Amino acid sequence: MTSLPRARRRFASCPGLVLGLLLGMGWLVGSPEHGAAQTAEQLVVQRRLELQAARDAFEAARSAFNVVERQFSSALEEVTRARRQGNKDDLERAYALAQDRSVPYRDRERRLAEAGDALVQARQALVDVLEIRLEQLVEEMDAASSSQRRGQLDLIWRDLSTELQQLEDEAGDTFRLDPVVLPEVASDPRDTPDDILAKADLLERQAAVADTLIQEKEREIQALTSRLRRERQRRDLLAGTDRFDDTRVPVVTGSPTGQPTPSSDSTVAGQRPITLEERIQMLRDYVEQLESYRDQLVIRAQVFRQRIRSVAT
């Protein structure tokens, strides 16, 4: 096992490694109970545990939020029902209930946001130390005395590399689309006509929300498509002027017209960011899902309304 002082000497040979070292030292300074001799490998284990704890806390916060959100939504439905029935006493009681439930709702919402922030920080902390450990492994492989040892280290390197890739994907996935989930509104034989009407109303409101979301996403697609077209027109300009050597000017050598360098190239293997084309396609797929979701809601609302009519006749 490589000790940290030895690793420190190696890291000093490259700015990136120096940065990694600083991160490691920062941790050591902040955690005196573990002592200065703690290795990057131990740090990986420690930060994995911290990330798991952060994930658990986030999941717990989300579950708790879902419970209070459902309660709050139920209270709002009570308000709607009471308003429709015109019963002032019921309406006041429903308002009071909704008011009471809005307090834990806000509280849980805030806790969920805090847990999300903590999760992001814990993930980044693990990414930082994984990068350090991977560098160490490369050095250890170079210095390994046998091919067997080298193979063992290579397996560890691959596992850690995959883990790092997954974490970076998770962290870099800023373009996230919420999953489409149908609300749990089911028909119950004990439902009164008012109950059925309320459920139909709820489904139609959800359908209207989906409709708004569809329009919003379509506007987003339109904006991205316009941006993509402008990017293409810019590429056309540069390609057109370069083709016949019209831009040849003195002393400018290399790649003056914004030709990609390896670090900025969007096609660099293994670190390619999501392209505009891919974003547009993802949004289109999402809009299709939303349309299907909206149609299902409308159909179910119609079924409820038919049931009311059949009860009435």
- Interface positions with another protein (CB under 8 A): 15-16, 19-20, 22-23, 130-131, 134, 157, 161, 164, 223, 226-227, 229-234, 236-241, 243-254, 256-258, 261-265, 267-271, 277
State the minimum distance, in angstroms, from the CB of residue 276 to another protein.
Answer: 10
Closer by beta carbon to another protein, 1 or else 249: 249
Nearer to another protein, 117 or 278 (CB): 278
Percent helix / strand / coil, the chain, rounded to 5: 80, 0, 20
Instruction: Quote the least distance from Cβ 155 to another protein, whole Å.
Output: 14
In the complex, minimum distance from the CB of residue 253 to another protein, in angstroms, rounded to a whole number:
6
**173 versus 245: smaller Cβ distance to another protein:** 245
What is the spatial distance between Cα 279 and Cα 224, in angstroms, rounded to a whole number?
Answer: 8
**Shortest Å distance, C-beta 111 to another protein:** 30
Q: 110 or 158: whose CB is closer to another protein? A: 158
CB 162, min distance to another protein, A:
10
Handedness of CA 147, 149, 150, 151 (dihedral sign): positive
Instruction: Please say which residue, 154 or 201, places its beta carbon nearer to another protein.
Output: 154
Instruction: Tell me whether residue 176 or residue 309 sits nearer to another protein (CB atom).
Output: 176
Cβ contacts of 8-15, under 8 Å, gap ≥ 24: 10/135, 10/136, 10/139, 11/132, 11/135
For the chain, counts of helices (H) and of strands (E): 7, 0
User: What is the nearest approach in angstroms of another protein to the Cβ of residue 87?
Assistant: 52
Q: How far apart are CB 173 and another protein at their closest, in Å?
A: 15
Which pair of structure tokens corresponds to residue 43?
């740090």
- The closest alpha carbon to 26, from 11, 43, 1, belongs to 43
Tokens of 268: 């660099």
Q: What is the DSSP letter of 33?
A: G
Contacts of 298 (CB under 8 A, 6+ apart): 203, 204, 207
d(CA 176, CA 119): 16
User: What's the CA gap between 308 and 164, in Å, rounded?
Assistant: 56
Q: What's the DSSP call for residue 179?
A: P
In the bound state with another protein, the residue whose beta carbon lies nearer, of 193 and 256, is 256
